[in-house]
Amino acid sequence: MSTPAIQNVVILGATGSVGASALDVISRNPERYSVFALTAHHQVERLARLCLRHSPRYAVIADEAAANHLRRLLRAAFSTTEVLCGAQGLCEVARAPAAGTVLAAIVGAAGLEPALAAVRAGKKVLLANKEALVVSGQLFMDAVESSGACLLPIDSEHNAIFQSLPAHYQRDPEAAGVRRILLTASGGPFRNTPLQALEAVTPEDACAHPVWNMGRKISVDSATMMNKGLEVIEARWLFGTPANRIEVVIHPQSVVHSMVDYVDGSVIAQLGNPDMRIPIAHALAWPERVHSGVSALDLFSIATLNFERPAFERFPCLALAYQAIEAGGTMPAALNAANEEAVAAFLDRRLGFCRISEVIAATLERAERDEASTLEAVLEADARAREVARGEIGKRGPS
Which residues are near ligand NDP by CB under 6 A?
Answer: 13-19, 40-43, 105-107, 110, 128-131, 155, 212, 214-215, 217-218, 276
Q: Which is nearer to ligand NDP, 275 or 392 (CB)?
A: 275
Q: How far is the CB of 128 from ligand NDP (least distance, A)?
A: 3
Q: Which is nearer to ligand NDP, 214 or 325 (CB)?
A: 214
Q: How far is the CB of 107 from ligand NDP (least distance, A)?
A: 4
Q: Which is nearer to ligand NDP, 13 or 329 (CB)?
A: 13
Q: Which is nearer to ligand NDP, 139 or 214 (CB)?
A: 214
Q: How far is the CB of 93 from ligand NDP (least distance, A)?
A: 12
375: number of Cβ within 10 Å: 16
- 355, 396 Cβ separation under 8 angstroms: yes
Q: How far is the CB of 189 from ligand NDP (least distance, A)?
A: 15
- Residue number with the shortest CB distance to ligand NDP? 16
Q: Which is nearer to ligand NDP, 206 or 218 (CB)?
A: 218
Nearest to 159 by CA among 242, 230, 260: 260
Q: How far is the CB of 235 from ligand NDP (least distance, A)?
A: 13
Q: How far is the CB of 382 from ligand NDP (least distance, A)?
A: 13
Beta carbons within 8 Å of 132's beta carbon, 6+ residues apart:
104, 109, 111, 112, 115, 116, 140
Q: Which is nearer to ligand NDP, 158 or 191 (CB)?
A: 158
- 103, 154 Cβ separation under 8 angstroms: yes
Q: Which is nearer to ligand NDP, 43 or 323 (CB)?
A: 43
Q: How far apart are CA 387 and CA 144, in angstroms?
A: 31
Q: Which is nearer to ligand NDP, 87 or 175 (CB)?
A: 87
Q: Which is nearer to ligand NDP, 113 or 362 (CB)?
A: 113
223: number of Cβ within 10 Å: 29
Q: How far is the CB of 218 from ligand NDP (least distance, A)?
A: 4
Q: Which is nearer to ligand NDP, 270 or 396 (CB)?
A: 270
Q: How far is the CB of 399 from ligand NDP (least distance, A)?
A: 26
Q: How far apart are CA 153 and CA 174, in angstroms?
A: 21
Q: How far is the CB of 25 from ligand NDP (least distance, A)?
A: 13
Q: How far is the CB of 387 from ligand NDP (least distance, A)?
A: 18
